[in-house]
Amino acid sequence: MRGFSICNLRLVFNLKSQILTIIMNEDLRFPIGKFDADFEVTAELRNTFVQTISDLPVKLATAIEGLNDEQLDTEYRPDGWTVRQVVHHIADSHLNSYCRYKLALTEEVPTIRPYFEDRWAELSDSKMPVEVSMKIIDGIHSRWANLLNSMSDVDFKRKLKHPESGEWTLEKMLGLYDWHSKHHTAHITDLRERKSW
Ligand code: NI
């Protein structure tokens, strides 16, 4: 191949390793894959989603059990959130979600208010001890699960509107938070496995 020097080879090698790094980082970022909204919600599936919401406080407590401050301040992937930020983010995200459920149950297709989760994770309260958010998650999930268990089929078909992604039924949104709960828990459990913590 004419003009294909060592420099070109190095370039190809560097590009290849850069692409590999990006792919590996994406795997670390999405340990259970990305959320796919293309599914039919059956009553059985809905029950498994409700169970995930009930179980998260215990599953998350198990995932972070015994971690010291240095470990909590370790990023789960290069340039990613620390374990501490992940825990505080779950509290931020799920308290918003809980409010959105209550809005959708009491108003006609309310438009919800998005927020910049990355900016929230940089605020001072995301550096607090994780126990603070574990208490929030415990309380929110207890009430959220109670609410979900009280909802009828008709309630689960109620909708809210996200300004960017459009209308969501509450049962479809529950699929998102089932995924979200497992997604962030896996960030922590995968990191511990890689680090042998
Ligand atoms: Ni998240």
Closest CA to 31 of 91, 86, 95, 98: 86
Ligand 1 centroid–CA 16 distance in Å is 29
Q: Is the pTM of this model over 0.75?
A: yes
Residues 6+ apart with CB under 8 A from 172: 37, 41
How are beta strands 159-162 and 166-169 bridged, if at all? antiparallel
Return the minimum-mean-pLDDT range out of 13-17, 30-34, 40-44, 56-60: 13-17
Ligand 1 centroid–CA 90 distance in Å is 6
Closest CA to 144 of 54, 47, 49, 39: 54
Confidence grade of residue 19 (pLDDT, cut at 50, 70, 90): confident
Ligand 1 centroid–CA 197 distance in Å is 23
**Count, residues in the chain:** 197
Averaged pLDDT score across all residues of the chain: 93
pLDDT digit string, tens, across residues 121-156: 999 999 999 999 999 999 999 999 999 999 999 999
Q: Is the pLDDT of residue 16 over 90?
A: no
Ligand 1 centroid–CA 12 distance in Å is 35
pLDDT digit string, tens, across residues 89-109: 999 999 999 999 999 999 999
